[in-house]
Chains A and B, each alone.
Chain A
Amino acid sequence: MSRQPYVRPMPKASWYLANARYRRYMLREVTCLLVGVYCALLIWALAALSSGSPERWGAFLAAQQNTAWVVFHAAALIYYLVYMTFDWFKLAPKAMPVQLGEKKLPDHFIVIGHYLAWIVATVFVFWLAGVL
């Protein structure tokens, strides 16, 4: 190895602005903030639910009901679907290739399988929650 390897200068905090591929990567990675927000909301909900009083649960639900949350959830839902869920499915065949003897299962089979499983999972959650 050379004593003074060439290191291409690259801005540390803004390198991802250089091209569309990097930007897409960053837009996907920051979805972890949304996962964090919804985990926090779920834990908050469990805190209210576990207090044992229907009033505290009612107060939790009431605290969720305002226009700011409607806007936030609607935007979050679209962003999350595009950059987290659908991206995760798109990358699934790369992360978990399925080997069948000599051949590999074609990528689109795996992707379509994920979409179908996602629809089933979503319907199941909606059914549990009494939406359907």
Chain B
Amino acid sequence: MSIARKSVVWGLFAAGGTVSAFLFPAVIALFLLVAMGRVPDGLEYQTLHAFASHWLGKSALFLVIFLSLWHAAHRLRVVFHDFGVRRDKAVANAVYLVAAAGTVLTAFYLYRI
């Protein structure tokens, strides 16, 4: 991989790792609350829809999901290598394709809100 492309991949990995390290514990805790049947007010349809309708909320959601997806994809690529899978090119194509698909879906749903 060329150095220029490597720095983009690494940059996304680091940015996504930072975002998900900081925010995902809170996200997981929110899912836990919902699972326990204690849905917080901010996750009621009207409130959340209003948040995701605002450009600021939209951008925040997009950035968090987009960066985290690319972080996970890059790390998963390395994990495949670490578990003894040596077909890096195929693995890289697959994981980045899934991340790209997730990014497009996120953008589409946010656009639709």
Are B82 and A29 in touch, CB under 8 angstroms? yes
Which chain B residue has the least Cβ–Cβ distance from A66? B35
Q: What are the interface flags for A78-110 relative to B under an 8 Å C-beta threshold, 1 for contact and 0 otherwise?
A: 001100110011000001000000000000000
Which chain A residues border B110 with CB–CB below 8 Å?
Answer: 46, 50
- CB of B32 within 8 A of CB of A38, answer no
A43 lies within 8 A of B75 (CB): no
Alpha-carbon separation in the docked complex, A66 to B36 (Å): 7
A32 and B43 contact, CB distance less than 8 A? no
Interface of A (DSSP majority class): helix
Once the chains bind, are B21 and A85 in contact (CB under 8 Å)?
A: yes
Taking a contact as CB atoms closer than 8 A, the residue among B32, B42, B79 that contacts A128 in the complex is: B42
Chain A, 12-59, CB within 8 A of any chain B CB: 12-13, 16, 26, 29-36, 38-43, 46-47, 49-50, 52, 54, 57-58
Asked whether A1 is an interface residue with its Cβ less than 8 Å from the other chain, the reply is no
User: Quick one: closest A residue to B69, CB to CB?
Assistant: A39
Of the candidates A49, A77, A130, which one forms a contact with B52 in the assembled complex, judged by CB atoms under 8 Å apart? A49
Using Cβ atoms and an 8 Å threshold, which residues of chain A touch B71? 32, 35
Q: Write the chain A residue with the least CB distance to B110.
A: A46
Q: With a CB–CB cut-off of 8 A, which chain A residues contact B112?
A: 50, 52
Binding site for B on A (CB under 8 A): 12-13, 16, 26, 29-36, 38-43, 46-47, 49-50, 52, 54, 57-58, 61, 64-66, 69-70, 73-74, 76-77, 80-81, 84-85, 88-89, 95, 117-118, 121-122, 125-126, 128-131
